[in-house]
Copies of this chain bind each other. A is one copy, B any other.
């Protein structure tokens, strides 16, 4: 694990754990086609079945309800396309303003093409989408409701359980993006009462480019990718065996470590906040004030009077510390501000001054001190450079 001590971008992606790497290396020897007719590919089938069982167990699902995909972007796109394009449902699509672009951008595209009613519900200033606001948006004919379980930028936990009741009442299909929750918080599909739920392996020490979609009733979705009938006909294409083996191992490990993780991450967060206070740094937390409503591995901060872009760059160049300016994906595009923080109604100065710190399994108490010291140093430098303004 080269130089993980400065890594504070666990929400963007996580390193493969040793157990995951070992599972992937093992799977490299399982080369036969899972669809072959002859007697031998038992190894591959066992591997797939084990991985499916492990992923299912992580979220309290049955293995038959798990379909492997190329990641949560595909999983989210699939649900949207399947419900909004392939079925005779002409009702509105209700979602939140803080979803990942895998939901928001594809939802906009599809609804635009169809002239379908797209209702985007805003969060409150702490980044939580009120169930009541979703309820209000769910007037009349609604085909699909999609809500994330944990926001990637703020860690805010959304009222998914309540919203599932609202969706059920309006007869809408209810999808949950659990990418930032699975493997981090306890996720149970039956208590969430969702119709589908997406996962991505690389957020919990599995490989990138492999994910899953839980589907409560697999008949409810039409396939997006059609061909050789893999994944019970729901998702065609020769299976990503090495990736799926990695995802299974990651799920098993995440499940086993969940309790330890919670303690670890809580301690790190408490330590970071107290170090920032001790150093007299002024900052604001963007996200829920109530820790019970927050995935504690995420700390979105604004430093007043500071342009976070510079601070993040300095942390990277001078201190070898990696934090994120909003969602990692945004740097591919030309958006100026995090759409999540914007939707929360934060003012310009707070938007400009915001960064996301996220930590996890390999983060140590010492790393936290290093981060706090680097923040103190950088804030001093930029305050001095800007002194006259």
Contacts and interface: CB of A to CB of B under 8 A. Distances in A.
Contacts of A349: none
A325 to B, nearest CB: 5
Given A226-B106, A332-B230, A236 B36 contact: no
A70 interface: yes
Contact of A238 (B106, B200, B241): B200
Nearest to A71: B237
Contacts of A242: 24, 207-209, 242-243, 246
A133 interface: no
Contacts of A317: 39
Interface string A13-34: 1111000010011001101110
Contacts of A220: none
Interface in A304-335: 312-313, 315-317, 322-325, 327-333
Interface in A234-250: 236-244, 246
A126 interface: no
A83 to B, nearest CB: 15
B13 A73 contact: no
Contacts of A36: 9, 12, 322, 324, 328, 331
Given A9-B33, A102-B228, 15 more contacts: A13-B33, A32-B322, A36-B324, A37-B331, A38-B324, A73-B225, A101-B226, A102-B227, A208-B238, A209-B210, A209-B241, A209-B244, A228-B330, A230-B329, A240-B240
